[in-house]
A and B are shown apart, each in its own frame.
Chain A
């Protein structure tokens, strides 16, 4: 449970502003890979899921935690792989072609 609520809100606020500033600058060319990348990044919920699945405090929390690990891990792997695949396609014309 949050030991420091104000601290957590601070972090949220600043991260949101950083997010707005950084993402506003992303080229529209790359909006699709951007979405798959942020998807992979927000699958960092994997760390919370791991903590719950591994703590084995009750059978319900273990089952739900494991389900969350599966979902988050699918996004981590799938998200990074497809983002990389897409970005490899964006090429300039090589000279002499």
Chain B
């Protein structure tokens, strides 16, 4: 009795700590506390659960916990920051699988006695859990580039996908009324697994931030559904928090790309228009590292616009050196962060913070856009579509309406780029052909290194 009371109180305390934990994430100065709060909440809840009287033996629990810790530790401690998106996708897969198999085992334990509502929630848990499991594995595979990251489309794809899903839901509806038809349950589970795979196939690399957030939301909802099935309020709360977080992030990502959910899920964006824009050949101005360095040194304010290309080239540490060199000369340097820069929400901030760039220099799109007209130089490193002015004024452009960084309003624009190849959306960027734009051709890491060399070298010479 005392043990049962302790369990309930530990769950209550854990729920409160989880909410506080998320609240403290509102600012970097309080954020470290949020991890502590979360950990304490988790430890309390686990301790409370271990005291439950229905536990007859600890052997499998210990096996599971030890194995899980062995798998989880390297995924947390050694994963490079560039790989955080695939790690996150993988952990959505783990979370969803846990919910799905718990639902499955509950079904087989209580089959005939399951009341309709419980059976309905259990089906939600299992369908969402299994589809998020395979969907997240696919997303992780695409992010890791074990699978092709471009969208794969075929005729009738959406009809196939939707009918698969419809069949799974219809089976669920039937099972709610006839939970004893045990042969249907594995079919429903199998269809959900298959649907998860097919759902991600048509989605391209550039849409990964939205997809990861959406899968995050599904994983949370399936955990919450598990709470309903097990009659556990703490699970309901934690799952709902996770679900709403994922949902908010996917809305932010969609808005940042001016797309709707349906458009992301069914769009196959990034493959269609590879031919558009290539027709006319316009001239560009290019510059050497020496010329660019001179301009940068003469500037009083510089805004650096980093994109995923910078991370691919592993240039963030060189960019930090450039930041240091410019700051030492009294140049005001800011970083303009587009919400979809990187492969998941907020990814670019983590990459720059890892390179020791102070977080108060990382400025969001709405805040930084009014500053471009006053900036002497905007330096674009590995970003493309989020700087394309066509999004503002060209209704024919596929990215029209997408909020962009107003790079073209700076006095001088410099773009470090390997070649003139188009970005993910396959669209030509008119920024490159403007009179005030200097193209700096080369590998981002190498070129930024050259810039730093020019600047520090010049200083020694002076």
Contacts and interface: CB of A to CB of B under 8 A. Distances in A.
B105 A65 contact: yes
Interface string B1-21: 000000000010010001101
Given A72-B95, A82-B87, A91-B353, A19 B109 contact: no
Given A51-B230, A77-B76, A90-B31, A32 B344 contact: yes
Interface string B75-89: 111010100100110
A77 B49 contact: no
Interface centre among B23, B77, B349 (most CB of A within 10 A): B349
B149 interface: no
A77 to B, nearest CB: 3
B412 interface: no
B23 A22 contact: yes
Contact of B55 (A40, A50, A92): A50
Contacts of A86: 81, 84, 350, 353
Interface in B5-46: 11, 14, 18-19, 21-23, 25-28, 31-32, 34-35, 38-39, 41-42, 45-46
A51 B68 contact: no
Contacts of A18: 19, 241
Contact of B346 (A34, A69, A83, A84): A34
A25 B117 CA distance: 34
Interface in B218-267: 219-220, 223-224, 226-246, 248-249, 252
B101 A67 contact: yes
Contacts of A27: 25-28
A60 B63 CA distance: 16
B353 A19 contact: no
Nearest to A43: B95
Contacts, number: 378
A47 B64 contact: no
B79 to A, nearest CB: 6
Interface residues of A, number: 83
B350 to A, nearest CB: 5
A96 interface: no
B241 A74 contact: no
Nearest to B104: A64
Contact of A51 (B11, B42, B55, B220): B55
A54 B31 contact: no
A93 B358 CA distance: 5
A51 B54 contact: yes
Given A8-B231, A83-B35, A72 B68 contact: yes
A43 to B, nearest CB: 6
Interface in A29-84: 29-58, 60-62, 64-84
Given A54-B56, A79-B76, A73 B69 contact: yes
11 contacts: A28-B349, A32-B349, A36-B87, A37-B25, A51-B54, A54-B60, A56-B60, A61-B108, A67-B98, A77-B69, A80-B35
Interface of B: 11, 14, 18-19, 21-23, 25-28, 31-32, 34-35, 38-39, 41-42, 45-46, 48-50, 52, 54-58, 60-61, 63-65, 67-69, 71-77, 79, 81, 84, 87-88, 91-92, 94-95, 97-99, 101-102, 104-106, 108-110, 113-115, 117-118, 212-213, 216, 219-220, 223-224, 226-246, 248-249, 252, 337, 339, 344-347, 349-350, 353-354, 356, 358-362, 364
| Pairs A-B, 6 closest by C-beta atoms | A73-B68, A69-B64, A81-B76, A31-B346, A77-B72, A19-B244
